[in-house]
Amino acid sequence: MCGIVGLLVKTPALREKLGELMVPMLIGMTERGPDSAGLAVFGNPLAETERKISIYSGLTEDGADFNWLGLGHALKEHLGVAVSIEPKGNHAILSFDVAPAIIKRWIAEHHPKLHILSTGRSIDLYKDIGTPAEVAARYGFAGLTGSHLVGHTRMATESAVTPDRAHPFTAGEDFCLVHNGSLSNPNGIRRMLEPRGIRFETDNDTEAACRFLEWRLREGDDLETALQKGFEELDGFFTFLMGTPDKLALIRDPFACKPAVVAETDDYVAIASEFRSLAHLPGVKHANVFEPAPEEMYVWNA
Partner 1 sequence: MERLTFDLAAQPLRELNTFLHTGAKEGKVGHVTVLNPDGAHNIAVGLDCPIEVEVVGHAGYYAGGMNKAATVTITGSAGTGVAENMMSGKVHVKGFASNGAGASAHGGLLVIEGDAGLRCGISLKGGNIVVGGSVGSFSAFMAQAGRMVICGDAGDALGDSLYEAVLYVKGEVKSLGADAQYEEMSAEDIAAVASLLDQAGLDHDPKAFKRIASKRSLYHWNADANQEY
Question: Would you call the peptide bond into 168 cis, given omega within 30 degrees of 0 as the criterion?
Answer: yes
Closest distance between partner 1 and the C-beta of residue 279, in Å? Answer: 3
34 makes contact with partner 1 (CB under 8 A): no
The answer to whether residues 169 and 204 touch, using CB atoms and an 8 Å cutoff, is yes
User: What's the full length of the chain, in residues?
Assistant: 302
155 makes contact with partner 1 (CB under 8 A): no
296 makes contact with partner 1 (CB under 8 A): no
Describe the strand order of the beta sheet including 91-96 as a list of residue ranges. 84-88, 91-96, 51-56, 115-120
**Could you give the residue numbers annotated as active site?**
2
Closest distance between partner 1 and the C-beta of residue 261, in Å? Answer: 8
CA–CA separation, 2 and 239 (whole Å): 10
Q: Which is nearer to partner 1, 176 or 241 (CB)?
A: 241
- What letter represents residue 114's amino acid? L
Kindly report the backbone phi and psi dihedral angles of residue 300, in degrees, each rounded to the nearest multiple of 5, phi listed first: -115, 140
Question: Would you call the peptide bond into 292 cis, given omega within 30 degrees of 0 as the criterion?
Answer: no
Handedness of CA 255, 28, 6, 132 (dihedral sign): negative
How many residues of this chain bind partner 1 (CB under 8 A)?
Answer: 18
Closest distance between partner 1 and the C-beta of residue 256, in Å? Answer: 5
Q: Which is nearer to partner 1, 29 or 234 (CB)?
A: 29
256 makes contact with partner 1 (CB under 8 A): yes
Closest distance between partner 1 and the C-beta of residue 158, in Å? Answer: 22
Kindly report the backbone phi and psi dihedral angles of residue 94, in degrees, each rounded to the nearest multiple of 5, phi listed first: -105, 130
- What letter represents residue 181's amino acid? G
From the list 15-23, 41-49, 155-163, 248-256, the region that binds partner 1 by CB under 8 A is: 248-256
Q: Which is nearer to partner 1, 151 or 245 (CB)?
A: 151
* Mask for 275-294, x = binds partner 1 (CB under 8 A): xxxxxx----x---xxx-xx
Binding site for partner 1 (CB under 8 A): 254-256, 259, 261, 274-280, 285, 289-291, 293-294
